[in-house]
Amino acid sequence: GQSSGQWQGLERYAQKNPHSGLTHHLLGMRYQQAGDPVRSLAAFEQSARLQPDLPDAHYNLACVYESLGLLTDARQHYWQTLQ
Protein backbone atom coordinates (compact mmCIF):
# COMPACT_ATOMS: atom_id res chain seq x y z
CA GLY A 1 0.00 0.00 0.00
CA GLN A 2 0.88 3.63 -0.30
CA SER A 3 2.16 5.51 2.72
CA SER A 4 0.32 8.52 4.05
CA GLY A 5 3.24 10.73 3.00
CA GLN A 6 2.98 9.58 -0.60
CA TRP A 7 -0.74 10.39 -0.67
CA GLN A 8 -0.10 13.82 0.87
CA GLY A 9 2.43 14.39 -1.88
CA LEU A 10 -0.20 13.51 -4.47
CA GLU A 11 -2.64 15.94 -2.85
CA ARG A 12 0.00 18.70 -2.96
CA TYR A 13 0.76 17.86 -6.60
CA ALA A 14 -2.96 18.11 -7.44
CA GLN A 15 -3.13 21.52 -5.76
CA LYS A 16 -0.16 22.77 -7.77
CA ASN A 17 -1.39 21.11 -11.01
CA PRO A 18 -5.17 21.49 -10.87
CA HIS A 19 -5.59 20.65 -14.56
CA SER A 20 -4.30 17.08 -14.32
CA GLY A 21 -7.24 14.75 -14.85
CA LEU A 22 -5.13 11.69 -14.09
CA THR A 23 -3.96 13.13 -10.76
CA HIS A 24 -7.55 13.80 -9.69
CA HIS A 25 -8.46 10.28 -10.75
CA LEU A 26 -5.70 8.83 -8.56
CA LEU A 27 -6.88 10.98 -5.66
CA GLY A 28 -10.42 9.72 -6.20
CA MET A 29 -9.19 6.15 -6.00
CA ARG A 30 -7.32 6.94 -2.78
CA TYR A 31 -10.39 8.57 -1.21
CA GLN A 32 -12.56 5.66 -2.33
CA GLN A 33 -10.16 3.18 -0.71
CA ALA A 34 -10.24 5.29 2.46
CA GLY A 35 -14.04 5.08 2.53
CA ASP A 36 -14.59 8.78 1.79
CA PRO A 37 -17.30 8.88 -0.91
CA VAL A 38 -17.72 12.67 -0.79
CA ARG A 39 -14.07 13.39 -1.56
CA SER A 40 -13.82 10.54 -4.06
CA LEU A 41 -16.91 11.85 -5.87
CA ALA A 42 -15.43 15.36 -6.09
CA ALA A 43 -12.09 14.04 -7.36
CA PHE A 44 -13.66 11.73 -9.97
CA GLU A 45 -15.97 14.53 -11.15
CA GLN A 46 -12.96 16.81 -11.58
CA SER A 47 -11.05 14.07 -13.39
CA ALA A 48 -13.93 13.40 -15.81
CA ARG A 49 -14.31 17.13 -16.47
CA LEU A 50 -10.61 17.63 -17.13
CA GLN A 51 -10.03 14.44 -19.10
CA PRO A 52 -13.37 13.31 -20.58
CA ASP A 53 -11.66 10.66 -22.70
CA LEU A 54 -10.43 8.76 -19.60
CA PRO A 55 -12.84 5.80 -19.31
CA ASP A 56 -11.64 4.85 -15.81
CA ALA A 57 -12.68 8.26 -14.50
CA HIS A 58 -16.22 7.77 -15.79
CA TYR A 59 -16.39 4.19 -14.55
CA ASN A 60 -15.25 5.04 -11.03
CA LEU A 61 -17.50 8.08 -10.98
CA ALA A 62 -20.43 5.85 -11.97
CA CYS A 63 -19.56 3.41 -9.18
CA VAL A 64 -19.58 6.19 -6.57
CA TYR A 65 -22.86 7.59 -7.91
CA GLU A 66 -24.38 4.11 -7.78
CA SER A 67 -23.19 3.56 -4.20
CA LEU A 68 -24.88 6.84 -3.24
CA GLY A 69 -28.13 5.81 -4.94
CA LEU A 70 -27.76 8.37 -7.74
CA LEU A 71 -28.66 5.91 -10.46
CA THR A 72 -29.41 8.38 -13.27
CA ASP A 73 -25.97 9.93 -12.88
CA ALA A 74 -24.40 6.47 -12.57
CA ARG A 75 -26.07 5.30 -15.78
CA GLN A 76 -24.83 8.37 -17.66
CA HIS A 77 -21.21 7.74 -16.66
CA TYR A 78 -21.41 3.99 -17.25
CA TRP A 79 -22.57 4.88 -20.75
CA GLN A 80 -19.65 7.30 -21.22
CA THR A 81 -17.29 4.49 -20.24
CA LEU A 82 -18.46 2.59 -23.32
CA GLN A 83 -18.08 5.53 -25.71
Residues 21-73 have pLDDT tens digits of 999 999 999 999 999 999 999 999 999 999 999 899 899 999 999 999 999 99
- Model confidence at 4, pLDDT cuts 50, 70, 90, reads low
What pLDDT is recorded for position 12? 87
Half-sphere exposure of 42 (CA within 13 A, CB side): 6
pTM of the model: 0.82
Question: Is a pLDDT exceeding 70 seen at residue 76?
Answer: yes
Go through 7-43 and write b for each residue having 16 or more CB atoms within 10 A of its CB, e for each that does not: beebeeebeeeeebbebbbbbbbbbbeeeeeeebbbb
